[in-house]
Amino acid sequence: MTTATFGPMCSSGAFINFGHSDPPIRMGKVWLNDVPAYTGIAAVDVYIGATEPSETEGLGYGGAHVIEDLIAGKPVKLKATSPGTDCYPRKEIETYVTKDTINQAYLFNPRNAYQNYAVAVNSSNRTIYTYMGKLLPKFTNATFSSAGQLSPLLNDPYYRTIGIGTRIFLGGAEGYVSWAGTQHNPLKERLPNGTPTGLAGTLAVTGDLKDMSTRYIRAATFQKYGVSMFVGIGIPIPVIDEEMVEFLKVRDEDIQVEIFDYSVQRRNKPSYGKVNYKQLRSGKIKINNKSVQTGPISSYARALEIADLLKERVSSGKFYLTDKVQPLPLDGEYRSLEILSQEEL
């Protein structure tokens, strides 16, 4: 069975190796279309993060747009500076690159495909702008972000088939699960059917940017919040036994998710209970007896398209299923950051 998701996933980005110029440069600072990239690795290796804003265009253009432009084959302006060394004498370079001219480029997304997420509402008197979109005052709307019954990790809630090494569909190309994603939290409360009711498992994924398509990787701008990136992921799940059949039968009405008040600017936000995805997809839920309009941040239509496309690739022999090399952790504490002195540690 094929599963898929297509939603904004901030924890995404690409490693790029530009190849060496003549004379060569050890890039100290790098900008791609005026978006800074991280260079604290080898001479011409950089990491461009999806959410990095442009230094000239602010929140309207960022790392995700650079990635989308590269995938689209558009020329991207590369600027780099360096103090210069004996082995890398060049101090400055400005040139244009495309995905065909750069040596290598692959996405490495530290946290994608969240197993479940949250419903966002706003109890305050003013509109707030969040990574869950625009939230109107006084519980006027609610947003959510999950493919629900189609989502990979909700169909394999205990990671029986999805693990490190699993071959996946990533942004139109073949990719792999490279590690458990950051904030992977398998001990999150679960329903008897295994599905967690909030932020649980996550995946770190890798794939060749040069083979991707802008239909499945798209830059996103959230007003007054910043840049993110829509990432399309598809994962085939082999039906290995009867228990797997039970997991794969999961429907939107079987998956619950918690409602949080995003106007409370704290780590732990007040909860307004749980709803299921069938209710969320109906367009209306009830909060404190008030009818609240709902809207998804992720695209179910595009997820469905990916699941169908992957199914077609698997059945025509273009995509081969792999067994995982190592399972994802099923336990481990999910830690938060406390402000401590050395003595308090």
Partner 1 sequence: MKKRKLVLSFPEKIVTRPITYKLVKEFDLEFSILRAEITPDVEGKMLIELKGTDDQIGKAIEYLENTGVTIQEAAKDITIDKNSCVDCGEYTSVCITQALSLDNKTGKLIFNKDKCILCELCLDCCPVRAIRVNM
| CB nearer to partner 1: pick between 149 and 256 | 149
Active site residue 10: no
Q: In the window 290-319, what residues touch partner 1 (CB under 8 A)?
A: 293-304
Residue 117: CB partners within 8 Å, gap ≥ 6?
Answer: 144, 145, 146, 198, 199, 257
Q: Does 140 bind partner 1 (CB under 8 A)?
A: yes
95 or 213: CB nearest partner 1: 213
- Burial letters for 142-163: b for 16+ Cβ neighbours within 10 Å, e otherwise? bbbbbbbbbbbbbbbbbbbbbb
Residue 223 in the binding site for partner 1 (CB under 8 A) = yes
Alpha-carbon torsion 169, 253, 229, 114, what sign?
negative
Per rule CB under 8 A, is residue 270 in the interface with partner 1? Answer: no
> Judged by CB under 8 A, does residue 109 bind partner 1?
no
Query: Which residue number, 35 or 303, has a Cβ lying nearer to partner 1?
Result: 303
Residue 142 interacts with partner 1 (CB under 8 A): yes or no: yes
290 CB-side CA count, 13 A: 13
Nearer to partner 1, 153 or 219 (CB): 219
Of 164-172, 219-227, 249-257, 258-266, the segment contacting partner 1 by CB under 8 A is 219-227
Closest approach of partner 1 to the CB of residue 207, in Å: 19
Distance CA 55, CA 34 (A): 6
CB of 258 to partner 1, least distance (A): 17
Q: Which of 201, 218, 277, 310 binds partner 1 (CB under 8 A)?
A: 218
**Using the rule CB under 8 A, is 33 a contact of partner 1?**
no
Tally of CB atoms within 10 A around 99: 22
Catalytic annotation, pick one of 22, 40, 86, 87: 87
Question: Which residue in 7, 62, 172, 186 binds partner 1 (CB under 8 A)?
Answer: 7
Residue 283 binds partner 1 (CB under 8 A): yes
Residue 345 makes contact with partner 1 by CB under 8 A: no
To partner 1, the closest distance from the beta carbon of 60 in angstroms equals 9
Phi, psi of 162 (to 5 degrees): -90, 120
The residue to which tokens 């509109």 are assigned: 127
Smallest distance, Å, CB 62 to partner 1? 12
Region near partner 1 per CB under 8 A, out of 89-97, 130-138, 153-161, 187-195: 130-138
123 near partner 1, rule: CB under 8 A: no
In the numeric block, the tokens 């969320």 are attached to 280
From residue 204, alpha-carbon distances to 67, 165, 173, 195 in Å are 18, 11, 16, 20
Nearest to 147 by CA among 242, 255, 13: 255
The nearer residue to partner 1, 140 or 182, going by C-beta atoms, is 140
- Distance in angstroms (rounded) separating the CA atoms of residues 235 and 219: 22
Number of residues that bind partner 1 (CB under 8 A): 33
Distance CA 84, CA 28 (A): 9
Q: Is the distance from CB of 146 to CB of 309 less than 8 angstroms?
A: no
Exposure string (b/e) for 220-257, b if CB count within 10 Å is 16 or more?
bbbeebbbbbbbbbbbbbeeeeeebeebeebebebbbb
- Residues near partner 1 (CB under 8 A) are 6-8, 133-134, 136, 140-143, 218-224, 228, 230, 281, 283, 293-304
Q: Report the catalytic residues.
A: 87
